[in-house]
Amino acid sequence: MKKLISILIFCLISLCFKNVYTQTKKAFEIYSYKGKKVSYKKLINRAKSADVVLFGEYHDNPISHWLEFELAKDLLSKHKIVIGAEMLEADDQKLLDNFLKDDINLSTFDSIADLWSNFETDYLPIINLAKENNVPVIATNIPRKYARKVYREGGFSALDLLSKEEKKYIAPLPILFDPELPQYKNMLDMMGGHEMTDIVKAQAIKDATMAYFIQKNTNENSIFFHINGAYHSDFKEGIYWYLKQLNSNINCLTVSTVKEENINKFNKENKSRADFIIVVDSDMNSTY
């Protein structure tokens, strides 16, 4: 009898250990803005009804890049979409169009356009998806040389000196700016106070320009899927705020990415960060 009980206990312990080690190990979880776990299906269903989707990523996070690709692909399976990206600057739009039409190859595009160092590994897949499906891709960001002017040469007034041709690549002047927006205030605090206002304005001109080109290329027959750093749209500020100034009725869905040691526990600090919050395991590797 004792032997039988011992065997049963051993089997029970073995089963418990087996259950522990055969549980699915997840790299991320998706949460609603309230902090409730939700399915990818819910995210995709909400995205289908939006005019604009702002996908806030960590630029070096492979989960962000993979989910961007999958979401774009799934939207594309039943809807027309337009893809836009912070990583592409507006004055490179013609080069981008030529690349999408195969008029130039990747090597030429990379050598002439002002591409990010991780473009080929992290963003080329979604650009190729667009290329294969004749999806328009919009370079939404301000050329960095103009953003630097705002920071180094006296704020927005530095943009007044741009030529008419150069001004085509930025949001129309004058630039609306609210320094009381919490994200801008936080940035100002991190940078060391009010003497650094121009660096926050450099962030704002990026947000305003991206919003301008998104709005300009949004239409009722397609969903505009935009990729940007999470800080540019977190808490429905940045790009989102500027979009609402351009069109208060626009239906804009926001997605954000955060890292946590425990993806199964929602950090209250992330509440309302976005409509959907992707919590990635902090052990996840970086792409650069």
- Position 245 pLDDT exceeds 70: yes
- Position 193 pLDDT exceeds 80: no
For the chain, which domains are there?
27-281 (3.40.50.11550)
Q: Which residue has the higher pLDDT, 1 or 225?
A: 225
- The answer to whether the beta carbons of residues 139 and 147 sit under 8 Å apart is no
Name residues whose C-beta falls within 8 Å of residue 50's C-beta, 6 or more positions apart in sequence: 223, 251, 252, 253
Mean pLDDT confidence for 165-169: 98
Cite the beta strand spans of 58-193 per DSSP E: 81-89, 137-141
The model carries a pTM of: 0.91
Name the token pair of 120: 């080929």
* Side chain identity, residue 254: T
Taking the chain, what is the end-to-end CA distance rounded to the nearest angstrom? Answer: 61
Alpha-carbon gap, residue 240 to 238, rounded angstroms:
5
With CA atoms as reference, report the closest residue to 184 among 258, 254, 235, 248: 235
Residue-level pLDDT at 189: 84
- The answer to whether the beta carbons of residues 119 and 260 sit under 8 Å apart is no
Within its chain, how far is the Cα of 215 from the centroid? 16
Residue-level pLDDT at 114: 94
The model's confidence at residue 66, banded by pLDDT at 50, 70 and 90, is: very high
Q: Of the spans 6-20, 174-188, 239-253, which averages the highest pLDDT? A: 239-253
Long-range contacts from 146-150, C-beta under 8 angstroms, 24+ separation: 146/170, 146/205, 147/202, 147/205, 147/206, 148/202, 150/198, 150/201, 150/202, 150/205
Q: What is the pLDDT of residues 202-235, one digit of tens each?
A: 999 999 999 999 999 999 999 999 999 999 999 9
Q: Which residue has the tokens 């999958």?
A: 70
- Position 14 pLDDT exceeds 80: no
Mean pLDDT of the chain: 92
Residue-level pLDDT at 21: 46
